[in-house]
Amino acid sequence: MRHRLKQRLGTHLKVFAVAGAATAGLAVTSAGHATPLQDNQGTWTLQGENDAVSTLKGTSDQYYTSGLRFNWTSGTDNLPGPFATVNRAILGKGMQRISIGLEQAIFTPSNTQIATPSARDRPYSSVLVGTVNLISDTDLSRGVFGIQFGVMGPDALGRQLQNGFHSAIGDTSNKGWSHQLANQPIFQVQYGRTWRLPLGTIGGRNGISFDMLPTVAARVGDYRTAGTIGDSIRFGQGLDSDFGVPTIGAGTDGTDAYKGTRQVPWYFFGGVTGDAVGYDATLQGNTLRSNSPHVTKKWDVGEIHAGVAVMFYGVRLSYSQVWQTQEFDTARSGLFNYGSLAASAKF
């Protein structure tokens, strides 16, 4: 067990160092830009993700099957002194915010109707974490640094939520939850930066604008250690109102903040991300239990995402569809996908 822990710790540090170096190398491009408009309103966000919203036949109720998130993001530049100091020291100059949230993620094998799951399939597990993020915005970049803390295992209430919902809608309960991963405390540190690169406008001031949102991120802890790089292209109006929309599944949160720069900002988007995964407890099992259910993770995981967002009267609605490559060696062939719906309001 001691050798196993040393291997995991070494992998954590390597992935975080590589992703951190990439982030630091790109961060210099965000310096020197003016800060955006002040925003004195907080933002409340409710987001749900589910694999029942699928474009692929036969992929519902398996793997990453459900995510829920509730989050509050502050207005600009009203952080308590110590938080403001830490924000500037880590993320540099910019318009500061803080966000606080709670999220749950549920994972199941592909066959949920057998009492004893296959040892070659993803283990049953759920994660319940609180999140605190510091955010710093310039006109053309957003930096996020935060922590996640909570529990993986029965205390995350995945079985109760999933089977309770299935019972309420008259669906069959999943039968293998007695084999879920054991309780384990979760602590994770995450860092990310997104750049907004305008590409031009067709049709003058009131025409259609285009931009790109390259992103780098890293997270390290006993939940998931990974480095991420990605890029998105958007077209619409009022693109400078936000820095895109987040997903719960594998994304770095902290991107709920927005401020409309026209009466009804809107955009369509599409993009790709790639993860270099050093460790994933929901696949590899409990950190301190050598006999925990587990599968062999893949180190490289890719995603394609597409969707739409619209803002009006202080409200932002967004929908994303995500297609993901296999996360472990014995996963079903082909892409897995899920839908993500988020609603935010400012007050």
| Interval 175-231: pLDDT, tens | 999 999 999 999 999 999 999 999 999 998 889 999 999 999 999 999 999 999 999
**End-to-end Cα spacing for the chain:** 50
| Interval 10-60: pLDDT, tens | 444 444 444 444 444 444 444 445 556 789 899 999 999 998 876 766 556
Q: Where are the alpha helices (DSSP H) in the chain?
A: 2-27, 81-91, 158-168, 281-284
Give residue limits of the domains in the chain.
Answer: 2-346
Distances in Å between the Cα of 89 and the Cα atoms of 77, 84, 135, 202 are: 15, 9, 12, 39
| Interval 255-266: pLDDT, tens | 899 999 999 999
pLDDT at 150 over 50: yes
Least confident of 10-14, 142-146, 240-244, 277-281: 10-14
Q: Higher model confidence: residue 30 or residue 70?
A: 70
Residue 77's pLDDT band (boundaries 50, 70, 90)?
confident
Note the pLDDT of residue 27: 42
2-346 in CATH: which number? 2.40.128.140
Beta bridge partners of 26: none
The three-point CA angle 183-8-231 to 5° equals: 95
pTM exceeding 0.85:
yes
